Amino acid sequence: MSSNLEITRKACVVGWPIAHSRSPIIHNFWLTHLGLAGSYESVAVTPPDFASFAHDLAANGFVGANVTIPHKQTAFEVCGKVSPTAASLGAVNTLWLEHGALCGDNTDVAGFLAALDEEAPGWDTASGPAVVLGAGGAARAVVHALRHRGKRVLLANRTRARAESLATDAGAGVEVYDWAQLPSALEGASLLVNTTSLGMKGHPALDIDLAPLPPHAVVNDIVYFPLETTLLRAAKSRGLRTVSGVGMLLHQAAPGFERWFGVRPSVTPELRGLVEADVLKSL
Q: State yes or no: residue 134 binds ligand ATR (CB under 6 A).
A: yes
- Which of 68, 106, 157, 244 touches ligand ATR by CB under 6 A? 157
Region near ligand ATR per CB under 6 A, out of 144-152, 193-201, 254-262, 264-272: 193-201
* Sheet (strand 94-98) strand order: 39-44, 10-15, 64-67, 94-98, 101-105, 81-82
Residues numbered 57 to 96 that lie near ligand ATR (CB under 6 A) are none
Residue closer to ligand ATR, measured from CB, 28 or 197: 197
Q: State yes or no: residue 135 binds ligand ATR (CB under 6 A).
A: yes
Residue closer to ligand ATR, measured from CB, 116 or 139: 139
DSSP for residue 179 = G
Residue closer to ligand ATR, measured from CB, 36 or 116: 116
Instruction: Supply the DSSP string of 62-99, one letter for each residue.
Output: -SEEEE-TT-HHHHHHH-SEE-HHHHHHT--SEEEEET
- Which of 159, 181, 184, 282 touches ligand ATR by CB under 6 A? 159
Region near ligand ATR per CB under 6 A, out of 17-25, 30-38, 155-163, 211-219: 155-163
Q: State yes or no: residue 136 binds ligand ATR (CB under 6 A).
A: yes
List the Cα angle 175/108/129 in 5-degree steps: 25
DSSP for residue 61 = T
What's the closest the beta carbon of residue 269 comes to ligand ATR, in angstroms?
A: 27
Instruction: Out of 10, 72, 81, 151, pick the active-site residue.
Output: 72
Say whether 72 is catalytic. yes
Q: List the end-to-end C-alpha distance of the chain, in Å, as a whole number.
A: 45
Three-state DSSP at 196 gives coil
Region near ligand ATR per CB under 6 A, out of 6-14, 74-82, 134-142, 244-252: 134-142
DSSP for residue 129 = P
Q: State yes or no: residue 245 binds ligand ATR (CB under 6 A).
A: no
Q: State yes or no: residue 165 binds ligand ATR (CB under 6 A).
A: no
DSSP for residue 191 = E
Residue closer to ligand ATR, measured from CB, 134 or 255: 134
Q: State yes or no: residue 158 binds ligand ATR (CB under 6 A).
A: yes
Q: State yes or no: residue 265 binds ligand ATR (CB under 6 A).
A: no
What's the closest the beta carbon of residue 5 comes to ligand ATR, in angstroms?
A: 35
Write the CB contacts of 99 (distance below 8 Å, at least 6 apart in sequence). Answer: none
The HSE-up count of residue 254 (CA atoms within 13 Å, CB side) is 17
- Which of 66, 68, 195, 242 touches ligand ATR by CB under 6 A? 195
Q: Count other Cβ atoms within 10 Å, centred on residue 20.
A: 11
CA dist list (Å): 138 to 92, 250, 259, 260, 264: 12, 15, 23, 24, 24
Write the CB contacts of 242 (distance below 8 Å, at least 6 apart in sequence). Answer: 218, 219, 220, 221, 232, 235, 236
Contact residues toward ligand ATR (CB under 6 A) are: 134-139, 157-159, 162, 195-198, 204
Query: What residues are annotated to the active site?
Result: 72
